[in-house]
Structure 1
């Protein structure tokens, strides 16, 4: 009537490699979901930002990550000179530019 412990241990050990692989399936599925929902979109966003920053040129209106809005007055290797008011120029690192505004958009309200 009762199964002895020796038989129960032998039956559990017989499934071997398929049982071990079945334990990793949820882990693989979680990684795949994380890749498509988090990692891949972030890589696309980083690629778009890198392309936007590399295409900056003199005369573009930009917004930095610090919230400074201005017009690019000169472009160097890794930094930009941005004019934020008449005669006021600041140097910013190229990668801190978060957005390039269209020339038709208003840059700042002169009050």
Structure 2
């Protein structure tokens, strides 16, 4: 006697019970969305808040780096822009949103800098 007919009877009885709920079928997709939220979206929002706080905290005298790679000392702070001194009297107006890094007032000078401060 073979066990195969018994297995087919059990599987056909389960199949006759009906399809699983559509809500139950969507559960894995909802789980993937939750995982994506906590691994991608939430950290990005946190970085945006930190960047906004950093940009709002800049004051005159801070040394900043822009997205274009310019390094300068802030000479004036306005609502949406800052004016930086890029060296030798070169003044540039930069949007606050373009600030990537604030190095602070006490930034050490490079070893090969021969200018006297």
TM-score range, shorter chain: 0.7 to 0.9
Residue number in structure 1 paired with 2:59: 57
Cα–Cα, structure 1 residues 64 and 85, in superposed 2: closer, same or farther, change >3 Å? same
Backbone CA RMSD of aligned residues: 2.4
Contact 1:61 1:107 in 2 (8 A): no
Residue number in structure 2 paired with 1:23: 25
CA positional deviation for 1:107: 5.5
Aligned counterparts of 2:80 and 2:109: Cα–Cα separation in 1:
23
TM-score by length of 1: 0.80
Q: Deviations over 1:82-104 (max 9, x none)?
A: 10102111000001000000333
- Structure exhibiting the larger radius of gyration computed from Cα positions: 2
Structure 1 runs, 4 residues or longer, greater than 4 Å off: none
Aligned counterparts of 1:91 and 1:81: Cα–Cα separation in 2:
4
Residue number in structure 2 paired with 1:77: 79
Whether 2:16 is the aligned partner of 1:11: answer yes
Aligned counterparts of 1:107 and 1:44: Cα–Cα separation in 2:
32
User: Which ranges of structure 1 fall in alignment gaps of 5 or more residues?
Assistant: none
User: Which ranges of structure 2 fall in alignment gaps of 5 or more residues?
Assistant: none
Number of equivalent positions: 104
CA positional deviation for 1:71: 0.2
SS of match in other structure, 2:49: helix
Whether 2:38 is the aligned partner of 1:36: answer yes
Equivalent in 85, 88, 111 of residue 86 of structure 1 = 88
Cα–Cα, structure 1 residues 83 and 61, in superposed 2: closer, same or farther, change >3 Å? same
